[in-house]
Amino acid sequence: MTYNDTCQLLEVNHQVFTCAIYDSKLINIYKNDGNEFPLLGQINNTESHGDNSNGMVKINDDIFCSGGECGYIYVVSIKPIQVIQKIISEIKYSWDCILFLHKSEDGFIFTSTGKGIIQYKIILVEDDNFIKLEKYYIIEDGKNNSAIITTEDGKIFYIQNIENLNEKTNLFLKKYKQLKEKFVFNL
């Protein structure tokens, strides 16, 4: 049982899942012990929101990201349970909350707080089970873009909301900026 303002839910691995609770500003982490799901840990003072259901994204079996109000993205480790990086989005527009988080197969996180889509590169430090997100590129088209997926050939498919379209929405597919060097990204 959790609170009625639980707004996000994510399976981090087969044994652990997490949820965000927006009024209490909590991230709860639960472990599957075979019979129940006892609380493994809790992170306080984390801004989240209940305006969408895709505000968390898995990085690997030990790390996930949680986004929320005020343009915050929290990079969270479950071993040990802690916030390892807190990012405040530099682009603040009408919503000022993370509208979505999405991880591509080639090592990027995509998000938006209103206008444009911010592309972050995932930087992995394998020995320390630590990552950081580094701003890489901004796709500056549309307003309140949302509901994205990425393709294996480096394209991003998203809803592009543009003013003066009489309440219509464009589904838009375009190539996103990829790393110049070739690498294998395994998390």
- Per domain, the residue ranges of the chain are 6-175
Structure tokens at 81: 């349970």
User: What are 23's strand-pairing partners?
Assistant: none
Q: Please state the φ and ψ torsions of residue 175, each to the nearest 5 degrees.
A: -75, 135
**What single DSSP character describes residue 44?**
E
Closest Cα partner for 119 from 105, 93, 101, 142? 101
pLDDT-derived band at 97 (thresholds 50, 70, 90) equals confident
Residue 185 has pLDDT above 80, yes or no: no
Q: What is the pLDDT of residues 14-56, one digit of tens each?
A: 999 999 988 888 999 999 888 888 999 999 999 887 666 688 9
pLDDT value for 121: 93
Contact 146, 132 (CB under 8 A): no
pLDDT value for 29: 95
Q: How many CB atoms lie within 10 A of CB 36?
A: 8
Cα–Cα nearest to 69, from 42, 95, 90: 95
Write down the pTM of the prediction.
0.84
According to CATH, the topology of domain 6-175 is Methylamine Dehydrogenase; Chain H (2.130.10)
**pLDDT tens for each residue of 170-182:** 788 888 988 765 4
Structure tokens at 167: 């309440």
Give the model's pLDDT for residue 96: 72
